Structure 1
């Protein structure tokens, strides 16, 4: 008989793919579900692009807090959502890295209608989101253990698929 262990699942993806909605749904269902897009979990730093002399502010995970969160013993699954440039440092702490994706027009429509986050309202921010879809999303896809296209899935369906990952044993 194979042993079961508690799963830690990272939910990542571009703006407008449903990360916040699904993390709220998982929390509503009683699971430990953390949206890292806050001052509690992130901080502004000046990042340096490889091969470039320019630097821009970057909203990254507070590494000490993330290490602590992912090292704590758990009796129930942990769901963490976010998309940060330093998240790759923590991939080995997660059992699954789930990429939420959506058609660009679906993402932009969701962003236009959301009231809980002002990001993506300006033309410049929407252009940046589309650039991230072209250049960042493929990097996330490469490291993901599962991709869910949320274009036609409800939040409840995405949550159900994430929960299904927690019921599989550690070997399978």
Structure 2
């Protein structure tokens, strides 16, 4: 939807939803990928699969392509995680990965309700493992310290967007 499109990624609990809401509050066009583009499917084929599993959390490529090709906004931010990002990462002008330390991550996950991803013990263990390994995150992304106050996190992202183009 933007003439410039940016992806904001990170493991669950790093602040993607909060950043998306703050960008919207500031008047930027921001898409919450986990709510507007995601479904459970095979990351290679896109074929829908029943049940909710981390490895099957993917974005709808057709819908994403349509949003990216609409150039009515100067900038669009796509916030969220997807296991099929390798199929669309080339569409973005920049990729940011929100990062927090383990203590902060554990604190944020502990505050989640049980019905939200990361709200159960097993999901928390998976997220901590993914945090430690960096697995499922785009390489060559710009790291953003998401332990900072939300306004500062968003300011840093916006500053980097200006530097990128």
TM-score normalized by structure 2?
Answer: 0.83
* Structure 2 unmatched runs, 5+: 45-51
Bigger RCO (CA 8 Å, 6+ sep): 1
Matches within 5 A, 1:98-117: 98-114=96-112
Shift of 1:92: 1.3
Moved over 3 A (4+): none
1:10: which partner in 2? 7
Shift of 1:113: 2.0
2:28: which partner in 1? 31
Change (3 A) 1:143 1:22: same
1:42–1:62 Cα contact (<8 Å) kept: yes
2:49: which partner in 1? none
Change (3 A) 1:114 1:168: same
Equivalent residue of 2:83, what SS? coil
Greater C-alpha radius of gyration: 1
Aligned mates of 1:164, 1:73 — CA distance in 2: 21
TM-score normalized by structure 1?
Answer: 0.80
Q: Deviations over 1:16-35 (max 9, x none)?
A: 11111011000011110111
1:121: which partner in 2? 119
Shift of 1:46: 4.0
User: Does the alignment pair 1:88 with 2:86?
Assistant: yes
